[in-house]
Structure 1
Amino acid sequence: MAKDILVFRDLTIRGKRGDLPKIRAALLDQVTMPWKHAEEREEEISSGSLNDDDVIMFSREQGNGIEAVGLLLWSRGDSYQVTNIVPRDVSELGYEAYNAALNDFVERIAKPASHAAGFRIETTPERQSLTDWVSSDVAEALRRFSVLANKSTGSSHPSDRQRWFEFLLAAHGASEKLDADRLIRWLSEVENWPEDTAHDLAIQYELGLDLLKAYDENRM
């Protein structure tokens, strides 16, 4: 059975060239309580933008087990992406609360609007594994290191260090880079590494990739 962790879902609303005005209108046409169009906040964000990207700001009242939030859509080419969901009454949203708000927006606003405007809704899974983020080769190199390493010493033992270097080389050569925060979560939550050691390995990971990148650039 694949090992996975809970993550923040992504949402992309994708249309055809020139469809953004139609998508915006369709989304706003579906706004009903507990959601509303946060026009003042939208204007503040738009005025502070350094380019001509379009933004749409929504606000949701608390209810039905979902926190009061603000949800921001930002245009990217011919699509809109949810770039942030922020809490209004609590200090931060956990993964479940964030995803609950996103799912509610999809069901109440995005899906009905898609029927009217003909755009596609693309979401990522809320539970993901290593192979959702990196290639099978990189995932296998990290798993090999994690399974065989001494979890109390990290990558300091020569054999463990060699397997760690093999993972770094695989990660360096891959087009998709594993985020350090997800590396920490995967090591600590899935592979049961001590959290301090997982953080140390993440620091080594970022430094190692930076060093390999600099080496490649200086060879050119």
Structure 2
Amino acid sequence: MEIYRELYFKGTKEQLEHFINNIEEYVVNDWCLEEKSKRWKDYLFFDYIGTEVEKSSVSIYIGDIDKESELFVGNIVPLEKSSLSIDEYNAVLLKFYNDIIQPYSKDNTDLTIIPPSNDKFNPLNFITKEALKKLKIFCAMANKATGSSHPSDRERWFDFICQTVDDGRMFDYDLLARFLQDKDYWGKKDENFNGVIGDYAWSKEQAYKLADEYEYACEVLEYYKKVRG
């Protein structure tokens, strides 16, 4: 399963400020840095207007450098089409990294720049081995036509959810929904198999239903732990 690449910059407040104030010097060729406006004063927008990848705007939120020790590419949006595929998004990110960030890093070695993350999904980058084990047990034994509605399935599902919250390592909504549908990971249901339990991926409908349940349950559990200890 392919996922969106990420790009992080870590350092002191002074190093991050230096990046913000000097990165424009490296915005060359088919790139331009948008002028800051009152509405978007807390963002840097790097627009690609060339032809090698999709024309897009790469955004970095800079409003938290007094509190945080990192910056990161928060989003990439197309300039001429309604949306980008994962492949297109990642291609723009790599173009941004190669054209602008790498030249900056060669001249400014103090700032820690973490190269773009892998575009291949590994669940252990998001949850622990114990949590993945519990998710696998749930997926193998659950009725894939009814999700978590059966009492035994619900118990295994809740066990997985609680484990991720206790670990402090959780999936986001869309990632979990896409993962549950991943036939390469979970297996593909044979056309001649009429059962509802087995080692195969979830349907889109059930995957997003489970993701909804997961997101809500995590929010409730995190709130409970915060206010009740």
TM range (shorter): 0.7 to 0.9
Look up the match of 1:193. Answer: 202
Query: In structure 1, what is the Cα distance between the partners aligned to 2:133 and 2:122?
Result: 12
Match of 2:79 in 1: 88
- Is it true that 1:15 corresponds to 2:11 in the alignment? yes
- Normalising by structure 1, report the TM-score: 0.83
Instruction: Write the distance in 1 (CA, Å) between the matches of 2:12 and 2:163.
Output: 37
Measured at CA, do residues 25 and 193 of structure 1 come closer, stay the same or move farther in structure 2, by a change above 3 Å?
A: same
| Residue of structure 1 in register with 2:142 after alignment | 149
SS of residue matched to 2:61 = strand
Aligned to 1:33: 29
Using the alignment, how far apart are the partners of 1:185 and 1:209 within structure 2? 18
Paired-residue identity, %: 28
CA distance in 2, matches of 1:210, 1:115: 42
Alignment-derived partner of residue 69 in structure 1: 56
1:152 deviation in Å? Answer: 1.6
Cα distance in 2, alignment partners of residues 19 and 165 from structure 1: 43
Match of 1:60 in 2: 48
**Structure 1 residues 90 and 115: CA distance shift in structure 2, 3 A:** same
SS in 1 for 2:147: coil
Quote the Cα distance in structure 2 between the aligned partners of 1:21 and 1:213: 33
Deviation (angstroms), 1:89:
0.4
The C-alpha deviation readout for 1:27-62, integer Å capped at 9, x for no partner, is 2222212111222xxx22xx225xx85x32211014
- One-letter amino acid of the counterpart of residue 48, structure 1: R
Higher mean C-alpha displacement, 204-213 vs 82-91? 204-213
Relative distance call for 1:113 and 1:219 in structure 2 (3 A) is closer
> 5+ unaligned residues in a row in structure 2: which ranges?
187-200
Q: Does 1:24 align with 2:15?
A: no
Q: Distance in 1 between matches of 2:139 and 2:13?
A: 46
* Alignment CA distance shift 1:35-1:174 (3 Å): same
2:120 matched to 1:120?
no
Distance 2:99 2:167 in 1: 39
Which residue number in structure 1 is paired with residue 196 of structure 2? none
Runs of 4+ in 1 over 6 A off after TM superposition: none
Deviates more, 1:180-189 or 1:119-128: 119-128
Residue from 161, 165, 168 that aligns with 2:154: 161
User: Relative to 1, partners in 2 of residues 1:56 and 1:210: Cα closer, same or farther, differing over 3 Å?
Assistant: closer
Gaps of 5+ in 1: none
Give the corresponding residue for 1:204.
Answer: 213
Q: Which has the higher helix share?
A: 1
Tell which deviates more after alignment, 28-37 or 153-162.
153-162
Q: How many residues align?
A: 207
Corresponding residue SS for 1:71? strand
- CA–CA separation in structure 2 for the residues paired with 1:217 and 1:109: 41
Amino acid of the residue matched to residue 146 of structure 1?
C
Aligned to 1:174, which of 163, 167, 183?
167
